[in-house]
Structure 1
Amino acid sequence: MANVYIIREDGGTEPMTRVHCKDEDRELQSILERNPDLLPGDQIDPEDPRRWLLVKREMPVPDPNTGSDRWSIDFFFVDQDAIPTFVECKRFADTRSRREVVGQMLEYAANGPYYWTKETIRNFAEEAGKGKGLTLEEALRSLQPTDDASADAFFERVQQNLREGQLRIVFFLEESPMELRSVVDFLNKQMERSEVLLVEARQYLLGGTRIVVPTLFGYTEEARKVKRSVTVTTAASRRKWDKDSFFADVRAKLTDAEVQALETLYGQTLSLGYQITWGTGTTGGSFNVKEPSMCPRSLLTVLSNGNLSLNFAWLNGSEQAERGRERLKELIAQHAGLKIPDDYSRKWPGYAIADWGNKVGVILEVLKQLSTEFRREMPNIPLQTDR
């Protein structure tokens, strides 16, 4: 692979120093545990980027003969569609990445579902959330703030997917041998319900900063066609909302004054140039408000029952996004008077329409101020509208 260069202000170049992992636990597993987005969800599904909830690191896999824990998977994640995702990390120098790891992961996928109940998976996910200071409900909101399904329903879908073999296997390596890429590509084309993917996470040093560049292998267009030919049962209960269906649901649930508040917020947000995307709740609609110059994820979500969510925990991953999070908190607290939790950077605080409906004008002023500040810094970001 070609070198990676830094372009200095004077136009000269400086090569970045390639780093090879010596400690799999510290340099691969621990990094991935703290930064699940190193599994590039936007490369796996560009139309609906995958988001990750950690169920457990070192997930025990029982022996089918004895029932006792014999193996473990490095990571067990689930995405927003309740699709189980098994991740195995390997250094390039570990020759097992060339031989044993494929058969090992297929064995995990075959045996694990017979022993993991939805209660077991839920308990592990709850423990993982506590380690980050989150309740299970808050952790699930990080996957899909607009999904109104209960935790029980979500983990029922996880269990159903395991039983049906609708899952994802990911090999997470610092560098991948061509033989493994070929095997992954072959398996992904043949397996209709399961995905077999490889993420190559090359690492570099720039001063004292370690830079990780995740690249996805295994998802060709041919493989995507194979997956599309199979009916995905997990998403069957989820619905893609739009403006008409959303406001029809709003009018069925709220008073005229409350409907007017939502219509004003929606219309004026579009006028300010914010991007609007629609949610996929099972029994209620939602729209998400995004400012691309700040962060690719939404800064607030409005539900058809009138609730408004400030998505502080989604505003991360870059200095720009984190600055936007702090500015949003500052402006909302100062002008709208909404109560902000102390650990807001890890939360999605929600407010009933009774709390914010009479403050629509103030909230719009906050959004106007944010867009002015951040678009000034990134003037080439195109304004996007309803989609």
Structure 2
Amino acid sequence: MTRSIIYTVADGQLTAMRPSAPENEDTMQRLVAEYPEIIADRDGTLLLIRREQSIGDGESDGRWSLDHLFVTREGVPVLVELKRASDTRLRREVVGQMLDYAANSTAYWKAGTIAAGFAATATEGGRDADQLLAEFLPEGADPDAFWQQVDANFAAGRIKLVFVADQIPRELARIVEFLNEQMKADVRAVELNWFEGRGIKAFTPRVIGETERAQAAKAGGSTALPAIGRDEWITRHLAQYGPDTLRATAAYVDLVDAAGGHAEVTTAQGSIIAVFDLPRTTLYPLALSRSGKGVVQFNLAYLKSRPAFADEAVRQQLYDRLTGIVGPLSTAKLNGFPSFSVLQLNEPGVAEGLRDFLADLAAKARDSMAAGAV
């Protein structure tokens, strides 16, 4: 395939960017890992879970290695395999590889595997996993609910398969388009055309496989969960743990209301979140998660982005006050999501103390906004 020359103008000088190729496959892998938006297309922002993600076949834990694993903000896993145009496996063998990866990972990965991979990647990069996730998710999103949605999508086969190369052969393009119209999973190829000139490298992505017919057919298969009421959520997820848990859950809902907020089931249905509607904004300080037989999560990672709580000393004061009310929390990280068992709310004075804590927190945010902070 003949590729055009790209001309760029900088500092009054015209530069011809001529067709080139990546130095090696690792160059492509690092580029996609650092700038996943070049292959995202309609996916929006992608979160890197792992490079060289290990995949087993039921007998061996590491039979294969996937080049990249990402997830979308909607919790849809994105499996990416890269090849250079000079690699003869790019014709048909790479398709068999990808189908092996998809079939075996969805069959053998346990719940929590993807979250664990993300945590390992963050640790290896010297980053805080909770903070990275908070920066990626929409404001007020529940991390536990997000990972539960990821696992649910993966188990149901709601995934995306992406082939990436500097040139996509015609044979691969035809196979990708066919698979995308036949499979529940979204399948596409991204061709990264490389150019070089005067020491500058450039590339243009071209997406193959996302035909209008396939997109229309899959539009009805939304990953959104049907809405459920608060009482139904409690019955479905917490009633099994007995009357003490139900009593503590009722106390949680009541104290949120008494503090001036309201308790709502999140879209992903992973938690009942405390919602405080303030002038020009909404605050989500607590969430009752269905994990761990019912835990209440303090959303410090989210509060950190609000001007009233940006100062670490302020968050430390909140953390210390909360531990004085409910006892030890799951983590001391001031940019994370420390939590405690919902059963603590059955202890004398705890629900009342948490009610006052929430009311004061909302008042602080309201005062900060009145003082001009946005």
Structure number with larger C-alpha Rg: 2
- SS of equivalent to 1:69: coil
Instruction: Give the drift of 1:72.
Output: 1.1
| Structure 2 alignment gaps of length 5 or more | 230-255, 286-301, 314-333, 338-360
Name the counterpart of 1:100: 93
Distance change >3 Å, CA 360–CA 149, structure 1 → 2: closer
1:63 maps to a residue whose letter is D
CA distance in 1, matches of 2:199, 2:226: 47
CA distance in 2, matches of 1:72, 1:80: 24
- SS of equivalent to 1:310: coil
Name the counterpart of 2:124: 131
Distance change >3 Å, CA 235–CA 77, structure 1 → 2: farther
Distance change >3 Å, CA 3–CA 252, structure 1 → 2: farther
Distance change >3 Å, CA 130–CA 8, structure 1 → 2: closer
Distance change >3 Å, CA 360–CA 108, structure 1 → 2: same
Are 2:275 and 1:303 equivalent residues in the alignment?
A: no
CA distance in 1, matches of 2:304, 2:200: 34
Query: Contact 1:309–1:349 at 8 Å: present in 2 too?
Result: no
Name the counterpart of 1:57: 51
CA distance in 2, matches of 1:310, 1:68: 39
Distance change >3 Å, CA 132–CA 38, structure 1 → 2: farther
Deviation sequence 1:178-227 (CA, Å, 0-9, x none): 22112111111122x20001112223335444333323221121111111
Name the counterpart of 1:218: 209
Distance change >3 Å, CA 235–CA 178, structure 1 → 2: farther
Query: Contact 1:202–1:213 at 8 Å: present in 2 too?
Result: yes
Distance change >3 Å, CA 126–CA 186, structure 1 → 2: same
Distance change >3 Å, CA 108–CA 238, structure 1 → 2: farther
Are 2:70 and 1:70 equivalent residues in the alignment?
A: no
2:204 maps to a residue whose letter is V
Q: Output the TM-score relative to the length of structure 1.
A: 0.61
Deviation sequence 1:124-170 (CA, Å, 0-9, x none): 1111122333333223223323253242x333322222221111100
Distance change >3 Å, CA 309–CA 303, structure 1 → 2: farther
Deviation sequence 1:203-255 (CA, Å, 0-9, x none): 3335444333323221121111111132x34554699xxxxxxxxxxx96865
- SS of equivalent to 1:227: helix
Distance change >3 Å, CA 97–CA 146, structure 1 → 2: same
CA distance in 2, matches of 1:6, 1:211: 10
Distance change >3 Å, CA 141–CA 255, structure 1 → 2: same
Name the counterpart of 2:196: 205
Name the counterpart of 2:366: 357
Alignment coverage as a number of residue pairs: 279
1:339 maps to a residue whose letter is D
1:19 maps to a residue whose letter is S
| Structure 1 alignment gaps of length 5 or more | 240-250, 257-278, 287-300, 312-331, 342-346, 368-387
1:127 maps to a residue whose letter is A
Distance change >3 Å, CA 102–CA 356, structure 1 → 2: same
Instruction: Give the drift of 1:339.
Output: 2.2
Instruction: Give the drift of 1:123.
Output: 1.5
Q: Of residues 166, 170, 176 in structure 1, which corresponds to 2:168?
A: 176
2:34 maps to a residue whose letter is R
CA distance in 2, matches of 1:90, 1:165: 24
Distance change >3 Å, CA 363–CA 163, structure 1 → 2: same
Instruction: Give the drift of 1:54.
Output: 1.9
Distance change >3 Å, CA 119–CA 79, structure 1 → 2: same
CA distance in 1, matches of 2:227, 2:78: 20
Distance change >3 Å, CA 235–CA 13, structure 1 → 2: farther
Instruction: Give the drift of 1:5.
Output: 1.1
Instruction: Give the drift of 1:24.
Output: 0.5
Query: Contact 2:196–2:202 at 8 Å: present in 1 too?
Result: yes
Query: Contact 1:146–1:303 at 8 Å: present in 2 too?
Result: no
Query: Contact 1:340–1:349 at 8 Å: present in 2 too?
Result: no
Instruction: Give the drift of 1:8.
Output: 5.3
2:109 maps to a residue whose letter is W
Q: Output the TM-score relative to the length of structure 2.
A: 0.63
- SS of equivalent to 1:360: helix
Instruction: Give the drift of 1:36.
Output: 2.2
- SS of equivalent to 1:117: coil
Q: Of residues 141, 163, 187 in structure 2, which corresponds to 1:196?
A: 187
CA distance in 1, matches of 2:260, 2:140: 23
Q: CA RMSD in A?
A: 3.7
Name the counterpart of 1:294: none
